[in-house]
Amino acid sequence: MELFVLEHKRLWRTPRVWLCVLLCFVYSVIWGSVIWYQWPGFGTKNDSTNMYDNNFDGYSAIRGYQEEFSKFGDYWTDETLQKMVEEYQSYDVMNLPGLQSKGDWSLASDILRDLYPELKDPENQQYQPLILYADTTKLTDFYQRRADLLEHTLETTRQNEGMTEADKQMLLDMNSQIEEPWPYEWTQGWNDLSFGWSKLAPYLAIALAFLFSGEWHNNTAPLLHTTKYGWKKLARVKVLNGLAFALEFYLLIAGGKVLVQLIYLGTSGWDLPIQYISLLAVAPWNMLQAELYQLAFGLIGVFGYAGLVMLMSALVKNNVLALVFSLAFVYVPDVLGRYLPKWLMAVSQYLPLVGNSYDYLNYNIFHIFGMSVWSPWMLITVPFLIGVVCIPFVILKWSRRQKA
């Protein structure tokens, strides 16, 4: 324990490390959350179409949106949609800048486009959205129309992308667990649950890539040869130190973003179904459950990526190479994605901090040992296993190299 504490203090006192943490906190929490909620994300519109010309009043604007849309009722029904479209049509939208931007008018507009295509006027559809002229008396059977469209979409996916009939039925069974009618309140604040986990990779790599290779760079090997601790014990302590730092780093960033979200959005909206984000999603989750998944995705990703970075640090003696190889795991799949074989691109999505944290809105299913496995469960399992597998190789490789 004493050695771990010493190593941990040593890591945190490194200027490179605390500077990375500070920059990431400013970028992700201060700019990416506080400033975003208060200004470009939810600040009220003025006459400009540039979101960075919004007013700096996001907190009060969000309260206004929540109160404004509470009048449409507590549940989403045909009447909710009808009233919303009627009210929108009563506005002079040309003189109300940003009317659709953060209100649920965009939600209603998307629903009309997807579920009521027969209401499109051929003379208007190229120039005006359907919400401006749709006959509200015909906006009925919302849930049945959604079910029919979902059935058609899954059947098309089955025919074109190799989905089996069992896979299709599995997804329909998931969808059947969604309770109707859906709870309703202002939804736009919950349209983006992503925490941008891949953006943590550069900071984490810079902090941990020198953990083992730095001993060679600093020429501390002779000093380490005099230690009273064994090589494997030193390696284990360094690995635990790296994992502890990764956890603390994750808690600082994730905790900060969640705290800001609670301040601006509160708990209002936790019970909303994720179908407000993607109408044809089949997962029977609400926004709180989806956010917990996002947090688990980030935690597992940070753990797995820390293992990969430490492995690169143990494999090479050069600090720059250790950093470049670590970053390559995250950025090469993105840069070369269109040039990689489809199967290799699919595999690369399960590297830590690489995959799509919104995959629970999709229909991806894998077949493993005869079992059908929903892709989101793979995304929080494989990166963890990668991290676990890396750890013994880190210890073994660094111990052998030091002895040599």
DSSP 22-76: HHHHIIIIIIIIIIHIIIIITSPP-S-S-GGGS-S-HHHHHHHHHHHHGGG-SB-
Residue 240 · residue 1 · CB < 8 Å: no
* Dihedral sign of CA atoms 179, 130, 185, 288 in order: positive
The pLDDT score that the predictor gives to residue 400 is: 65
How far apart CA 334 and CA 326 sit, in angstroms, is 14
The pLDDT score that the predictor gives to residue 225 is: 47
Reference 355, options 85, 364, 275, 63; nearest CA is: 364
How far apart CA 373 and CA 326 sit, in angstroms, is 29
Contacts for 40 with CB less than 8 Å, ≥ 6 apart: 51, 52, 54
In tens, the pLDDT along 13-47 reads 999 999 999 999 999 999 999 999 999 999 888 76
Q: Does 285 score more than 50 pLDDT?
A: yes
Q: Does 101 score more than 80 pLDDT?
A: no
Partner residues linked to 368 by β-bridges: 371
DSSP reduced 3-state for 101: coil
Reference 381, options 341, 349, 344, 333; nearest CA is: 349
The pLDDT score that the predictor gives to residue 403 is: 53
Confidence of residue 91 (pLDDT cuts 50, 70, 90): confident
pTM: 0.93
Reference 273, options 185, 171, 152; nearest CA is: 185
Task: Find the length of the chain.
Answer: 404
The residue that leads in pLDDT, 23 or 160, is: 23
In tens, the pLDDT along 308-351 reads 999 999 998 888 999 999 999 999 988 887 787 887 888 899 99
Beta strands 365-368; 371-374: pairing state: antiparallel
The pLDDT score that the predictor gives to residue 234 is: 83
Residue 311 · residue 197 · CB < 8 Å: no
Q: Which tokens hold the place of 5?
A: 């504490």
Helices (H), 218-275: 221-224, 231-265
Confidence of residue 193 (pLDDT cuts 50, 70, 90): confident
In tens, the pLDDT along 372-398 reads 899 999 999 999 999 999 999 999 887
Reference 197, options 250, 258, 252; nearest CA is: 250
Contacts for 177 with CB less than 8 Å, ≥ 6 apart: 284
HEC string of 232-247 equals HHHHHHHHHHHHHHHH
DSSP conformational letter for 356: -
Quick one: what percent of the chain has pLDDT higher than 90? 68
The pLDDT score that the predictor gives to residue 223 is: 44
The pLDDT score that the predictor gives to residue 96 is: 55
Residue type, 49: T
How far apart CA 108 and CA 88 sit, in angstroms, is 10
Q: Looking at residues 158-168, what average pLDDT do you find?
A: 88
Q: Does 402 score more than 60 pLDDT?
A: no
Q: How far is C-alpha 53 from the geometric centre of its chain's CA atoms?
A: 27
DSSP conformational letter for 340: S
Residue 185 · residue 66 · CB < 8 Å: yes
Q: Looking at residues 182-210, what average pLDDT do you find?
A: 93
Average pLDDT, the chain: 89
The pLDDT score that the predictor gives to residue 217 is: 53
Q: Does 208 score more than 50 pLDDT?
A: yes
Residue 197 · residue 6 · CB < 8 Å: no
The residue that leads in pLDDT, 315 or 48, is: 315
Tell me the CA distances in angstroms from 173 to 16, 152, 176, 346, one per residue in order: 50, 15, 5, 25
The residue that leads in pLDDT, 45 or 142, is: 142
Q: Which tokens hold the place of 201?
A: 């990779």
Q: Looking at residues 171-199, what average pLDDT do you find?
A: 94
Confidence of residue 113 (pLDDT cuts 50, 70, 90): very high
Contacts for 37 with CB less than 8 Å, ≥ 6 apart: 58, 59, 62, 260, 264
The pLDDT score that the predictor gives to residue 362 is: 94
CA geometry: angle 242, 247, 253, nearest 5 deg? 125
Residue 152 · residue 121 · CB < 8 Å: no
**Looking at 52-66, 129-143, 209-223, which range is the least confident one?**
209-223
Q: Looking at residues 227-254, what average pLDDT do you find?
A: 87
Q: Does 268 score more than 80 pLDDT?
A: yes
Task: Scan for tokens 């929108």, then name that residue.
Answer: 88
Give the burial class of 44: count Cβ atoms within 10 A of its Cβ; 0-12 exposed, 13-18 middle, 19 or more buried. Answer: middle
In tens, the pLDDT along 213-229 reads 866 655 555 445 445 55
Q: Looking at residues 56-62, what average pLDDT do you find?
A: 93
How far apart CA 45 and CA 52 sit, in angstroms, is 10
